[in-house]
Amino acid sequence: MSAARVGVVTFPGTLDDQDAARAVRLAGAEAVPLWHADHDLKGVDAVFLPGGFSYGDYLRCGAISRFSPLMTELIPAAQAGLPVLGTCNGFQILCEAHLLPGALTRNEGLHYICRDQRIRVESTRTAWTTDFTDGQEIVLPIKHGEGRYVADADTLAALESEGRVVFRYAGGNPNGSLNDIAGITNEAGNIVGLMPHPEHAVEDLTGAPSVDGRHFFTSILKRLVNA
């Protein structure tokens, strides 16, 4: 059986693509580089949109990437059920692309924040979180200046009632996100976006003092292998 293939997208200004690919490989999957300018998903089984400052993010974060050739392929594929994980800038892009509702705005404190953050897992029913347990507290790094999740009241109510809030900040809300939201999913549960960085929490030697990020990749791998 050939390994599951997870695409890792690089836009100009993407920064965490090397980390994303490493995390995918450590879980036992093949990391397939996807280039923003190609209309080609290379037949991957899932896609990881890593963090960074795509196109410099001088407009709104993710606002330009959303129109890239690769995204014009990814959007319909994701709507058709392809598993997609977006972290940080990837989450922002997913919101700009309307694959996920709401938006990410400037942190409440107006500063960029890099720290190891406690996170509570609120849903294990998505493609990327089955290896967690409901209510589990994990530690993942956050590093962003625009991570304050906002949405209108109806959207928030829907997210909450449908169990689509996947992660919540614990032990203090770092950026002023509504309802302490750190990550959400779509109705089908195949698309997950979050501000924290699982790819920086997969090794003992490097990154955050935690390896909790591994479960994202073991979750998706199990799903792909069992599919």
User: Which member of 40, 58, 72, 133 binds another protein (CB under 8 A)?
Assistant: 58
| List 80, 205, 226, 227, residue binding another protein (CB under 8 A) | 205
Q: Which residues of 152-186 are buried (b: 16+ CB within 10 A; e: fewer)?
A: eeeebeebeeeebbbbbbbeebbbbbbebbbbbbb
Residue 66 in contact with another protein, rule: CB under 8 A? no
Query: In terms of CB distance, is 58 or 125 closer to another protein?
Result: 58
Catalytic pick among 88, 95, 96, 200: 88
Asked whether position 48 contacts another protein by CB under 8 A, the answer is: no
16 contributes a contact to another protein by CB under 8 A: yes
71-79, 108-116, 130-138, 215-223 -> range binding another protein (CB under 8 A) = 108-116
Measured distance between the N- and C-terminal CA atoms of the chain, rounded to whole angstroms: 13
Q: Is 61 a catalytic residue?
A: no
The pair of structure tokens assigned to 87 is 């972290």
Q: Are 178 and 149 in contact (CB under 8 A)?
A: yes
Cα 26 from chain centre = 18
Q: Which amino acid is at 212?
A: D
Window of 8-16, 73-81, 97-105, 126-134 that interacts with another protein by CB under 8 A = 8-16
Catalytically annotated residues: 88, 197, 199
